[in-house]
A and B are shown apart, each in its own frame.
Chain A
């Protein structure tokens, strides 16, 4: 259960999506999810916190080496009176530019408990090929 030696989590306010100069047409808030990105010799892993998003609401696409993550949250059930609102709820959107050596065919993604994990395997390095010379 709760370990005493662990550091306490500080509040991280959700970051509204930075759309640059282009304004969003919708007034719904959109957020840039917090991510961890790590690399090892096999590839890259992108992990994003997207609470409220399930597999159906998620779209991930790769276009011109730009990985786009878009998570739609489920519609909120209305008819309730809000008493306290400490966080806003909205969709998640973030883009990453990938390097060339990602094996695009082998990208895989899973989402569990509101955490998306995208694995981006590296292209296998070209195997050295030995050419046998046959005596004619």
Chain B
């Protein structure tokens, strides 16, 4: 700031105070912004993220769960609420001889409940786990399926 000497010592002193205040505000602002991002992230999803699609007779739910196995997954359905539960273990937990360069993959437990858009036949729900992707097929209840109504010509 080339103009600073122009104001003399007292002014440059108060500028210093202002500058300090500004940097403090930046800190506060950044901390708040992080907080907002956190809220946004929690708002958009709970692990695992799911995609839901449908055809005429079924609902299909898919979730990406790399590293999980079928026996460590628990799926339950009660009314229109589907619950996915499971746990992913950390590789090499407690192995001191390893030196980690990157650790981006997460381990831990998860539990997610979601409300299905239509009633399903809970006794006919099937789930397949393949290549790290869980696919749950939920046959729609008879009352939730579209019925073709024939229009009678008179």
Residues of A within 8 A of B (CB): 1-4, 6-13, 34-41, 44, 47, 49-54, 74, 79-87, 89, 113-115
Contact = CB atoms under 8 A, between A and B. Distances in A.
B66 A35 contact: no
Interface residues of B, number: 49
A83 B117 contact: yes
Interface string B125-142: 000010111000000000
A115 B106 CA distance: 12
Interface stretch (B3-11, B12-20, B46-54): B46-54
A114 B102 contact: no
A113 B131 contact: yes
Interface in B68-117: 68-69, 72, 74, 85-88, 91-92, 97-111, 117
Given A39-B99, A113-B131, A8 B110 contact: yes
Nearest to A116: B66
Given A2-B111, A51-B133, A38 B100 contact: yes
Contacts of B88: 9
A113 B132 contact: yes
A84 B50 contact: yes
Given A3-B87, A35-B102, A47-B91, 5 more contacts: A1-B85, A11-B45, A35-B105, A36-B91, A87-B49
A47 B111 CA distance: 24
A103 B55 CA distance: 51
B55 A79 contact: yes
Given A36-B103, A114-B64, A80 B54 contact: yes
B47 A113 contact: no
B55 A81 contact: yes
Contact of B69 (A6, A34, A83, A113): A113
B45 to A, nearest CB: 4
B44 interface: yes
B85 A49 contact: no
A84 B88 CA distance: 25
Contacts of A12: 104, 106
